[in-house]
Structure 1
């Protein structure tokens, strides 16, 4: 078996997050439609636009590597998205729906934050400064989305769910 190095791991993980982002693009409109709060709906819609940019940045990273943009199935993101769909079904119309949607969305964000943080560090280690910069931009946006979701949860959704 050939020796696998960091650049191989970087490429494999890049394919993983590329698949994940494309799945998230499909899930966000459903989550936006399911949200009861206008503010949460708007947050999901804004993040869908950002996610499209994230996909484009990943395509640029593939280009830097001289590789075709290609995803590989990511069971982790598939499972997280499925959990979000279960929340939408089980809590439809309930006061706790938005709190559940936020929890599902934050599971996605935390997965992405972990992946982008790792990929950025590996890109730096591999001397791929332009790739590291692109990944860093996305990491910052994912962190901002997570903070916004926390703020909506704490100030609106969790209170409404507990009432």
Structure 2
């Protein structure tokens, strides 16, 4: 019972603590912790808690506009990555979590000839990246040949 002891997980194993959930914490279907037990809400506990479903925040991005950087792979396109959080509001008291993805990519300027990158081929880019990993100054992986395998 979460109201008596809080169970925590650690990569598949269960670790317990001696600390119970806080008074008034949601502990099940229309039930909350009170005096170390999980049960229905009582009027002496105060106002009945409202079940709040989660809702997404607005999409945000660290980039304010399309990147103006040299493309690295021929034929690739520029995109802006955006994120959102399930905090407008966050689910509470057994409310439903947000559905859908919290990340998306927006293509910059469509796929016109001017937005298509001119740079390395996919194979050249992959080979350069694999070579850099194989010969990294801090964590080199000498088992790698430096050649990429593209599918």
TM range (shorter): under 0.3
TM-score by length of 2: 0.21
Pick the structure with more helix per residue.
Answer: 1
Q: Whose relative contact order is higher, 1 or 2, with alpha carbons under 8 Å and at least 6 apart?
A: 1
TM-score by length of 1: 0.20
Pick the structure with more strand per residue.
Answer: 2
